[in-house]
Amino acid sequence: MAEGQSRPKLNSTNKDAHLIMSTRFQVIVYQWLKAIQYWLLPPTCIVCMKAGNQARDLCLDCEMSLLRIERPCKACGLPLPPGNYLSTSCGTCLAFPPHFRRLIAPYRYIPPVSSLVASYKYNRKLVNGRVLSQQFSKHLHMQYQADNFPVLLIPMPLHPARLRQRGFNQANEIARYLGRDLDIPVSRNLVKRSKKTVQQTGLNARERARNVNAAFEIKHGFRFAPETSVAIVDDVVTTGSTASELAKCLLKAGAREVHVWALARTVA
Ligand SMILES: [Zn+2]
Ligand SMILES: [Zn+2]
């Protein structure tokens, strides 16, 4: 540029063109990075270790082999008894409704899902959590076609002693993935686990209720805005008593309704 000549100012058309160019550049860089990642780390199925389907770490055969819960009760997520085509809830939920309105868990907690969840939870194999959350997100989209998504996700809290021992809360990671995918905020610090409970499996109804009674504490003085519906997010639901106890606390704090979202559920 000649001396004394001023640099031409960008008018709005120039600015727009500039912006489009930089966005195009970002897209090209992103596509290149994805291609390099694909070449360096090609998608591998987390179940059979063969090549994944498209860009996912799961192959089509293994995706089909993950056992889903067919015709679940809308309230507790357990399969409805055969021949029950008139009701969407099971007899137990009609007689003793849980504190949550609906429980959604796509998979039965049996192999390979149970081993995928176990190595995610205990050996921190995060890819398993990510792939199962991707599948779960697709399932949730179908489940809420005629219904609004809850407006807040609350990961099932771990007791601080268990969190120290495990190093991370598996439910936080699932909630973070679903929150990002479904565009729902996640609240990780609203509820604390104030009591170290034991495994619910093997306890009778009264022991289960005693075990989880007063297990949660909501931030002092917190109230939900009117009409707030929330979803508790967890990896596995066994009896549903823990989720029901947390749902009770959330309803007490003013939530309109509580849903429970878990990757898998034990079916007796
Ligand atoms: Zn596979
Ligand atoms: Zn039920």
64 C-alpha to center of ligand 1: Å?
Answer: 9
What is Dmax (Cα atoms) for the chain? 89
Q: What is the pLDDT of residue 3?
A: 42
Q: What is the arithmetic mean of pLDDT over 110-125?
A: 94
Residue 162 lies inside a defined structural domain of this protein: yes
In a domain, 32, yes or no: yes
> Burial level of 134, CB count in 10 A (0-12/13-18/19+)?
middle
Q: What share of the chain is helix, strand, coil (3-state, %, to 5)?
A: 40, 15, 45
Domain boundary pick from 41, 65, 89: 65
Where residue 60 falls among pLDDT bands split at 50, 70, 90? very high
**Which ligand is closest in space to the CA of residue 51?**
1
Residue 211: how many other CB atoms lie within 10 Å: 18
DSSP 5: P
- Give distance in angstroms: CA of 159 to centre of ligand 2: 28
Distance of CA 140 from the midpoint of ligand 1 (Å): 23
| DSSP designation for 147 | S
Distance from the alpha carbon of residue 232 to the mean position of ligand 1, in angstroms: 30
* Together in a domain, 198 and 226: yes
Pull the structure tokens for residue 155: 């990961």
Out of 10-19, 163-172, 210-219, least confident range = 10-19
Whether 56 and 91 map to the same domain: the answer is no
Tokens for 40?
């360096």
| Mean of per-residue pLDDT scores for the chain | 88
Q: What is the pLDDT of residues 124-180, one digit of tens each?
A: 999 999 999 999 999 999 999 999 999 999 999 998 888 998 899 999 999 999 999
Q: Which of 35, 65, 95 marks a domain boundary?
A: 65
Mean pLDDT, residues 224-242 taken together: 94
**pLDDT tens readout for residues 38-58:** 677 788 999 999 988 888 899
Pairwise pLDDT comparison (164 vs 213), residue with the higher score: 164
Domain count, the chain: 2
Domain edge (last residue) among 48, 65, 82: 65
Query: Cα of 173 to ligand 1 centre, how many Å?
Result: 23
- What tokens appear for 51 in the block? 């090549």
Q: How many residues does the chain have?
A: 268
Confidence at residue 28, expressed as pLDDT on a 0 to 100 scale: 84
pLDDT beyond 70 at 13: no
**pLDDT score at 11:** 58
Return the closest-CA partner of residue 169 out of 124, 136, 109, 128. Answer: 124
Distance CA 123, CA 48 (A): 18
Structural domain range at position 61: 26-65
Same domain? For 48 and 102 the reply is no
Query: Quick one: pLDDT at residue 8?
Result: 47
